Amino acid sequence: MLSAVLPNGNAAAAAAAAELFADGRFNPTAIVTEPVPPPVQSDKLDSPPAANGGKADKREIVLGRNVHTTCLEVTEPDADNESTGDKEAYMASVLARYRKTLVERTKYHLGYPYNLDFDYGDLSQLQHFSINNLGDPFIESNYGVHSRQFEVGVLDWFARLWDIEKDEYWGYITNCGTEGNLHGILVGREVFPDGILYASRESHYSVFKAARMYRMECEKVNTLITGEIDCADFKMKLLPNKDKPAIINVNIGTTVKGAVDDLDLVIQTLEECGYSHNRFYIHCDGALFGLMMPFVKRAPKVSFKKPIGSVSVSGHKFVGCPMPCGVQLTRLDHINALSSNVEYLASRDATIMGSRNGHAPIFLWYTLNRKGYKGFQKEVQKCLRNAHYLKDKLRGAGISAMLNELSSTVVFERPKDEEFVRRWQLACERNMSHVVVMPSVTVEKLDCFLDELIQARSVWYEGGNSKPPCLAEDVGVSNCCCVLHK
């Protein structure tokens, strides 16, 4: 009896099946005899150009080339590997060297908004399990190795932070800030299919990626020198489009300047332009500051008591987590419109991703429990204080610098030397660089950085052959210390 199904019109597969299951029995010789694929021709790769060129001043983005210079090749185990243990030893040495690099790179890091100070040793036992919260956090899937109980606990904590009742919100733990924005904007588009997306030009690039992915009309709104959305320009962009609903991305901390858009003023502007609350959808991109603002007195409050549709925040930033993750919250009634049921999962499909990392919720649950709202408040206070310290020291040394109120992102003159930028892992744009003061950034680390920067600048700009850049256009005249403006 040949019980394997023979498809119509597929001769090759049928032949393969006949071979695999000759006489209805599994035939192990049907497996390929030489599993190692021949190497694909690759001789063009002998001398790949380095991604960074050799140029000191400018880092080139090499499009159209795949750079394999630092690649750790995967090699086939030797036949006698089990007896010699050579490969085991090789891998152990690779990992030991890699660990050393990680320690060193973690030590000299200032530019990205990641809290690198965490200890999840208690959770290392969980790495043995394939934990997957596939589908919806609030509907159990048939897959039993999940961590929904932790995930929902974390979501509830954020729901309380952002003022929304348990049975009125829906949310999930995402893979990163981008997924939060992709989800929030998608929900907005499903609520208002012909809505126009408005976002300040200093919004995260994922916002504009979403517009392109989702084929949405998109209006870029100008910003103030702080990086905040310019509501006068917002009004100008809104008025000619009054026939279409508005979907707005509000930044609770922009990427480069750490500027906080004034949510209340955005809502007021919409109202003044004649948009009723059922004609707009606001997504708050709180990737970094979404977890800091609630602890700063009189900061524009992110709250679902206001007419907003969704909020996202990253988990690997202020909280700190081994891998990127985020929290996405929206109103439950929006989700019921968006989602479709997937019987296979015994769930509804309302997340962007299907399979979802079940470890991230446990990391977050662990830290939230240990620190609590009070612990985060203390850390916010420390970060704001240290950011102020850094800004004062920079300005004291005659270096252009800006620190937005309500922010721990210190923007300053871009260092002239790319090697210096890489050493401290600074993010740069035009003439600006920034340090994001996270809980892992101590005064000692800042002092070390300041010493090195001041030392290096004395070399870069000695003799007067070259001058520090002007940052007036980037951070305003009052924050610029260039020759002209100091």
Site for a second copy in 203-262 (CB under 8 A): 204-206, 209, 213-215, 224-226, 228, 230-232, 255-256, 260, 262
Decide: is 478 part of the binding site for a second copy (CB under 8 A). Answer: yes
State in angstroms the smallest separation of the CB of 219 from a second copy.
Answer: 18
Binding to a second copy (CB under 8 A): which residues in 93-122?
A: 95, 98-99, 102, 105-106, 108-109, 111-112, 114-116, 118-122
- Measured from the CB atom, the residue of 111 and 279 that comes closer to a second copy is 111
Binding to a second copy (CB under 8 A): which residues in 63-92?
A: 63-68, 70-77, 87, 91-92
State in angstroms the smallest separation of the CB of 250 from a second copy.
Answer: 13
- Measured from the CB atom, the residue of 21 and 460 that comes closer to a second copy is 21
Dig out the tokens for 280 from the structure: 């707009």
Q: Choose, by CB under 8 A, the member of 236, 295, 416, 450 that binds a second copy.
A: 295
Q: Which residues contact 359 (CB under 8 A, 6 or more apart)?
A: 123, 126, 127, 131, 147, 323
With CB under 8 A, what is the number of residues at the site for a second copy? 212
Count of CB atoms situated within 10 Å of the CB of 68? 10
Decide: is 376 part of the binding site for a second copy (CB under 8 A). Answer: yes
State in angstroms the smallest separation of the CB of 462 from a second copy.
Answer: 26
Decide: is 486 part of the binding site for a second copy (CB under 8 A). Answer: no
State in angstroms the smallest separation of the CB of 458 from a second copy.
Answer: 23
C-alpha 379/C-alpha 387 separation (Å) is 12
Region of 242-250, 272-280, 314-322, 454-462 interacting with a second copy (CB under 8 A) = 314-322
State in angstroms the smallest separation of the CB of 179 from a second copy.
Answer: 6
Decide: is 20 part of the binding site for a second copy (CB under 8 A). Answer: yes
Decide: is 13 part of the binding site for a second copy (CB under 8 A). Answer: yes
Q: Choose, by CB under 8 A, the member of 55, 100, 160, 244 that binds a second copy.
A: 160
Count of CB atoms situated within 10 Å of the CB of 233? 18
Q: Which one is catalytic: 312, 314, 347, 407? A: 407
C-alpha 359/C-alpha 116 separation (Å) is 17
Q: Are 275 and 312 in contact (CB under 8 A)?
A: no
- Measured from the CB atom, the residue of 177 and 286 that comes closer to a second copy is 177
Count of CB atoms situated within 10 Å of the CB of 23? 8
With vertex at residue 91, the alpha carbon angle to CA 74 and CA 423, rounded to the nearest 5 degrees, is: 90
Q: Choose, by CB under 8 A, the member of 23, 36, 83, 240 that binds a second copy.
A: 36
Q: Is 407 part of the annotated catalytic residue set?
A: yes
State in angstroms the smallest separation of the CB of 406 from a second copy.
Answer: 6
- Measured from the CB atom, the residue of 193 and 240 that comes closer to a second copy is 193
Half-sphere exposure at residue 390, Cβ-oriented, CA atoms within 13 angstroms = 33
| H-type alpha helices, 65-127 | 81-84, 86-107
Dig out the tokens for 408 from the structure: 């721990």
State in angstroms the smallest separation of the CB of 24 from a second copy.
Answer: 8
Q: Can you say whether residue 401 is alpha, beta or left, with left for phi > 0 and alpha for psi between -120 and 50 degrees?
A: beta
* DSSP H or E run through 340: strand 340-342
Binding to a second copy (CB under 8 A): which residues in 431-470?
A: none
Decide: is 22 part of the binding site for a second copy (CB under 8 A). Answer: no
CA distances from 36 to 12, 19, 33, 75, 228 (A): 22, 21, 9, 11, 56
Q: Choose, by CB under 8 A, the member of 196, 218, 250, 296 that binds a second copy.
A: 296
C-alpha 474/C-alpha 485 separation (Å) is 13
Dig out the tokens for 232 from the structure: 């006068």
Dig out the tokens for 74 from the structure: 């995967």
- Measured from the CB atom, the residue of 91 and 484 that comes closer to a second copy is 91
Bridge partners for 172 per DSSP: 328
Site string for a second copy, 397-416 (x = CB under 8 A): ----xxxxxx----------
With vertex at residue 435, the alpha carbon angle to CA 433 and CA 438, rounded to the nearest 5 degrees, is: 160
C-alpha 426/C-alpha 435 separation (Å) is 7
Binding to a second copy (CB under 8 A): which residues in 339-358?
A: 339-349, 352-358
Residue 375, burial from CB neighbour count under 10 angstroms (0-12, 13-18, 19+): middle
Decide: is 393 part of the binding site for a second copy (CB under 8 A). Answer: no
State in angstroms the smallest separation of the CB of 201 from a second copy.
Answer: 13
- Measured from the CB atom, the residue of 55 and 385 that comes closer to a second copy is 385
Q: Choose, by CB under 8 A, the member of 47, 57, 80, 127 that binds a second copy.
A: 127
Residue 254's nearest CA partner among 231, 295, 284, 212 is: 284
Q: Are 181 and 328 in contact (CB under 8 A)?
A: no
Positions marked catalytic: 407
